[in-house]
Amino acid sequence: MKSLRLLISVLAIGGLFSACNQASAPTDTEKTDSIIAKPSALVPVEIKDTVSAQVYNHYLQLKDILVASDPAKAKTAASELAISLRKIKGSENTAALADKIAASTDLSEQRTSFTALSNDVIALFKQSEISSGSIYVQYCPMANEGEGGYWLSSQEEIMNPYYGDEMLHCGEVKETIGKK
């Protein structure tokens, strides 16, 4: 009888702890970097170079659209990103990757090209002067048929651009880029 009470007590306590640790599912307004549910908890990223800041904002817009799985809007966002990238000397190949995304209507192809684009953009921002805030380098091991894929985010919460709603939170923060 004592062991039965002990078992019930342990299960009840375990249930309470697991209920407290479960996060609620994000609403549509919480799914992107551009629409932040709790702005007071987030220090906005400020990049000293205005052209790099423009690239970062266009990149986040493209990433958010891929999270939302909208290939038509991804074309437009990628075109804007390519224009910004061309303003940075040495970023011609990265701009060509953005152009490749803009030329495609296939979401899967766009996401595959986004991998190479992200690798280049991550390298760019590791060299940028950040005045405030943090840029999170995130990684999904399942992206690109198990080869993995990185991307940048202005929030720690994972919003996977490679799978959208299918596996929205698959991934982890691998690195934080901040003020040097």
Could you report the average pLDDT of every consecutive run of 10 residues in the chain (180 residues)? 40 33 36 40 83 96 97 98 96 97 97 97 94 95 94 96 94 92
Q: Tell me the sheet residues that pair with 152.
A: 137
Which structure tokens are listed for 2? 């004592």
CB 131 within 8 A of CB 142: no
What is the model's pLDDT at position 42?
64
CB 160 within 8 A of CB 169: yes
What is the model's pLDDT at position 151?
98
Task: Identify the DSSP state of 168.
Answer: T
What is the model's pLDDT at position 179?
86
Residues 6+ apart with CB under 8 A from 84: 51, 54, 55, 58
First vs last C-alpha separation in the chain:
62
Q: Rounded to two decimals, what is the model's pTM?
A: 0.77
- Token pair 């991998």 is found at 115
3-state DSSP assignment of residue 177: strand
Q: Which of 47, 48, 64, 65 is nearest to 56 (CA)?
A: 47
